[in-house]
Chain A
Amino acid sequence: MNELDDRLSALERPENQGEPLDRQGFFLLAGLTLVLPAALLLVGLVFPA
């Protein structure tokens, strides 16, 4: 339990937490997995069947 307490105490300090998803990260994710596939789907619609 001491090990868990130590870790939780450490993780409660912001410097020990990983970064949150910031604006740049969100735009990277959205660009790769939202904008790109949307564009692909549009290309697919005009792709000869």
Chain B
Amino acid sequence: MSSQQNSSAIVEGSLPLLPGQRTWGPLALFGNSASAAVATWCFITGGYIAYWLPAGRGSIAITAGTLLGLFIMMLAAVPASSRYGIEAVRSTRPQFGVRGSNFALVLVLLIMAGWNAVLTIFLGRAAASALITMNVLPEAQRAAAEIGFGILGCLVVFILLRKGPDTLRNIGPVIAVSVIALSAVIMIILVTNVGLETIFAARPLEPYPSERLNYALVTELGIAGAVAWWPYVGGLTRFSKSTRGSILPVVLGLGVTMSLVIIIGLFASLAVPESGGDPTAFLIEVGGPVFGVVALGFIVLANIGTTMIGVYVCALALKQVPSIDRKVSWKGSTAISILPVLAILVFFAGPFMDNYGTFLAFAGVTLGPICGVQIADYYFIRKQHLDVRALFTEDRGGTYWYFGGVNPAGFIGAAAGVATYLLILDPVHFTARPGFEYMTATIPATIAAGASYWLAMRLIPGLWTRSAPQSQRLPVA
């Protein structure tokens, strides 16, 4: 085995990264953040916004919402990952306990499998549609082409990832630059052909009577969308040497780039309502095969880039299970992460996409409260100091063992956050309760989760004394 393979295998285990292994600079971090953020689903989100807000307000609200969501998500995910070289699931052990953190593991695996399936289904559908619109494929072959392109996408991701994260560092920025350039081309074609005045004059498709409610719904969409990047960002920023150095690349890569592509979807949906935000068909109609190739290039690069990072995060989360880490190689873990995606793609693509809204809601409702619990724990209880050895210890006497391996405060906090969210907003039907238009749902859910966690840590006997930093612990009699 070459030394490079050796180093890659070590980096891809469950082990924390040492400073010498955290080799990503700002460009790699920006590139992978942007590559993760931009995919066809950005267009679909843009399509949703067009129902509620016009171009100007919609662009502002989604950008602001995304940035606000990044504040919550980055405060929770980045510092522990950058400081100790750990990924997202491992970083939940202090809050949920050694065994309780399996809750976060299952959540991440479900959410990542779901996202990766969504992306490959989008990839298959969009690529097939583009080729059919360009008359390269007959309509009769649509179904087979959709599955075929999805499987091809999975295969490409497996080939790219099988050797470890070096691929991400090298390919992420290339994909990001290509996708940003193609996005700019798509935006220019769209604006040139439809006209900026027409786009900005277009009315939203089905707004609620309350202007404030429409505005808050789009802001919430941005916040929830950004918070959903929690597993991705934890997995990526562990390669960065400094917390401060991670901030700008992630904000630019995730926040700014993603908002720009969502805005393209918003503009496309307002200009051509039947597009649902996806400008592909429109581009081919106005520009023929040349523009079709641009659209197809965007679809392939954007979706494969995001799926690649999604599968990487999923495989890394799997390796946090000691028995899997011992028995399964990195290549095996990558393959296992792709299998459920293939199963959904081939057998359940239709029913899965019919419940896409419910899946999005599940991700949004659960991850905000987890961020709240992590923020309260990391800053207000542990003062940015973790017992790094205890993070990797399965012993009953370890700092993060608590009661039978579970920290009840974490679950109390998460449950309080989820309940708060559901009290304020029904995320499946977007039915809001009074007050939502002033505070959204994810922000109060995050605060409620963090506050409940902190209170539970103070009130449940034995938790505070074993968790607070040495200087704050009460003297033992």
Chain A residues closer than 8 Å to B70, beta-carbon distance: 32-33
Which one of A12, A16, A18, A28 contacts B247 once the chains associate, using CB atoms below 8 Å?
A28
Given A19-B83, A24-B244, verify A8-B16 contact (CB < 8 Å): yes
Can you list, as one digit per residue, whether each of A23-49 has a CB less than 8 Å from chain B (1) or not (0)? 011001110111011101101110111
CB distance from B286 to the nearest CB of A (A): 29
Closest to A30 in B: B71
In-complex Cβ contact of B215 among A22, A30, A44 (8 A): A44
Task: With both chains docked as a complex, state the minimum distance between the C-beta of A31 and any C-beta of chain B, in angstroms.
Answer: 10
Q: Chain B: which residue is nearest A22 at the CB level?
A: B244
Q: Are B19 and A18 in contact (CB under 8 A)?
A: yes
Residues of A contacting B78 in the complex (Cβ-Cβ under 8 angstroms): 21
Interface majority SS (helix, strand, loop, mixed), chain B: helix
CB contacts (< 8 Å) of A11 on chain B: these are: 16, 18, 84-85, 388
Q: Which residue of B lies closest to A15 (CB)?
A: B19
B63 within 8 Å of A by Cβ? yes
Interface size class of B (residues with CB under 8 A): 35 or more
Q: A7-B16, A43-B60 are in contact. Are A18 and B71 (CB under 8 A)?
A: no
For B83, the closest partner residue in chain A by CB is A18
Q: Is B243 in contact with A21, judged by CB distance below 8 angstroms?
A: yes
Interface contact B65-A21, CB-CB below 8 Å: no
> B15 contacts the other chain (Cβ, under 8 Å)?
yes
Nearest B residue to A43 by beta-carbon distance? B60
- In residues 233-271 of chain B, which contact A (Cβ within 8 Å)? 240-244, 247-248, 251, 255
B310 within 8 A of A: no
A33 B16 Cβ-Cβ under 8 A: no
Contact residue among B66, B75, B243 (Cβ-Cβ distance under 8 Å from A20): B243
In the complex, chain B residues 10-43 whose Cβ is within 8 Å of any chain A Cβ: 10, 15-16, 18-19, 22
How close is B168's CB to chain A, nearest CB, in angstroms?
19
Report Cα–Cα, A32/B243, bound state, in Å. 15
CB-CB under 8 A from A29, the residues of chain B are: 71, 74-75, 247, 251
Contact of A37 among B57, B63, B85 (CB under 8 A): B63
From residue B375, how far is it (CB to closest CB) to chain A in Å?
11
Contact B64 A40 (CB under 8 A): yes
- Are A4 and B15 interface neighbours, CB within 8 A? yes
Determine if A18 and B85 form an interchain contact, defined as CB atoms under 8 angstroms apart. Answer: yes
Q: Which of B61, B66, B83, B388 contacts A12 (CB 8 A)?
A: B388
B248 near A28 (CB under 8 angstroms)? yes
B327 within 8 A of A: no
Instruction: Determine the chain B residues whose CB is within 8 A of the CB of A7 once the complex forms.
Output: 15-16, 18
> Are A47 and B57 neighbours in the complex by a CB distance under 8 Å?
yes
Q: What residues of A have a CB within 8 angstroms of the CB of B332 in the complex?
A: none
B82 within 8 A of A: yes
User: CB of B384 within 8 A of chain A?
Assistant: yes
B65 to chain A, nearest CB (A): 7
Q: With A and B bound together, what is the CA distance between A18 and B84 in angstroms?
A: 6
Q: CB-nearest residue of chain A relative to B378?
A: A21
Cα–Cα distance between A11 and B15 once the two chains are bound (Å): 11
With A11-B18, A20-B384 as given contacts, are A44 and B83 in contact (CB-CB < 8 Å)? no
- Residue of A16, A21, A25 most packed against chain B (CB within 10 A): A21
B120 within 8 Å of A (CB atoms): no
**CB nearest neighbor in A for B21:** A7
Q: Which of the residues B60, B242, B248 comes within 8 Å of A44, measured between beta carbons?
A: B60
CB pair B57–A49 under 8 Å, yes or no, is: yes
Is B57 a contact of A28 with CB atoms below 8 Å? no
**Residues of chain B having any CB pair with chain A under 8 Å:** 10, 15-16, 18-19, 22, 54, 56-57, 60-61, 63-68, 70-71, 74-75, 78-79, 82-85, 211, 215, 219, 240-244, 247-248, 251, 255, 384, 388-389, 392
A contact residues vs B (CB 8 Å cutoff): 3-4, 7-8, 10-12, 16-22, 24-25, 28-30, 32-34, 36-38, 40-41, 43-45, 47-49
Q: 19 A-B contacts, Cβ less than 8 Å apart?
A: A3-B15, A7-B16, A10-B18, A18-B243, A19-B82, A22-B243, A29-B71, A29-B74, A32-B248, A33-B251, A33-B255, A34-B71, A36-B64, A37-B68, A41-B60, A44-B57, A44-B61, A47-B57, A47-B60
* Leading 9 A-B pairs by shortest Cβ distance: A25-B244, A44-B60, A37-B64, A33-B71, A37-B67, A40-B64, A20-B384, A18-B83, A18-B82
